């Protein structure tokens, strides 16, 4: 679902769209986002990072609509690479040089119901959200 950042609301240093909260996770392989920086939960919801990732998603969508033979030479590809670099640079400025931003290339926004309990699971850099109420968690 493509979302324009202008349609979102910022509250409590999180980005909301209706009753959902933006959570950043990396769908790429090789390096995760939060899974490599578990001591910095802000990297999941920081509004500026969410804005940058939403812009990246728009560029990825635009690039996907181009003919295969035009993709590598397109201005959109250049803008997408710059967008990824901006995410890496901003996160390293915000969280310091020890923050690993290699998962930025695979970052996307997952919209999570407000108040949901979840955790981030990772396999070979590919992160996914596992919800407490739907993943077979036990409660007594």
pLDDT tens column, 34-53:
999 999 999 999 999 999 99
Phi, psi of 132 (to 5 degrees): -60, -40
pLDDT tens column, 76-102:
889 999 999 999 999 999 999 899 998
- pTM of the predicted protein model: 0.89
Task: Return the sign of the alpha-carbon dihedral for residues 7, 12, 18, 21.
Answer: positive
The stretch 16-40 carries a mean pLDDT of: 92
Q: How would DSSP label each residue in 57-88?
A: HHHHHHHHTS-HHHHTTSHHHHHHHHHHHHHH
């Amino acid at each position: 679902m493509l979302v324009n950042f202008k349609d979102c609301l910022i509250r409590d240093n999180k980005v909301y769209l209706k009753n959902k909260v933006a959570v950043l996770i990396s769908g790429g392989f090789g390096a995760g986002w939060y899974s490599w920086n578990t001591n910095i939960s802000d990297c999941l919801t920081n509004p500026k990072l969410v804005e940058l990732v939403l812009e990246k998603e728009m560029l990825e969508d635009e690039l996907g609509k181009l003919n295969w033979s035009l993709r590598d030479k397109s201005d959109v590809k250049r803008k997408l690479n710059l967008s990824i670099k901006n995410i890496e640079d901003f996160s390293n400025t915000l969280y310091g040089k020890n923050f690993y931003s290699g998962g930025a290339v695979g970052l996307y926004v997952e919209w999570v119901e407000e108040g949901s309990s979840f955790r981030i699971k990772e396999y070979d850099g590919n992160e996914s959200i596992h919800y407490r109420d739907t993943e077979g968690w036990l409660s007594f």
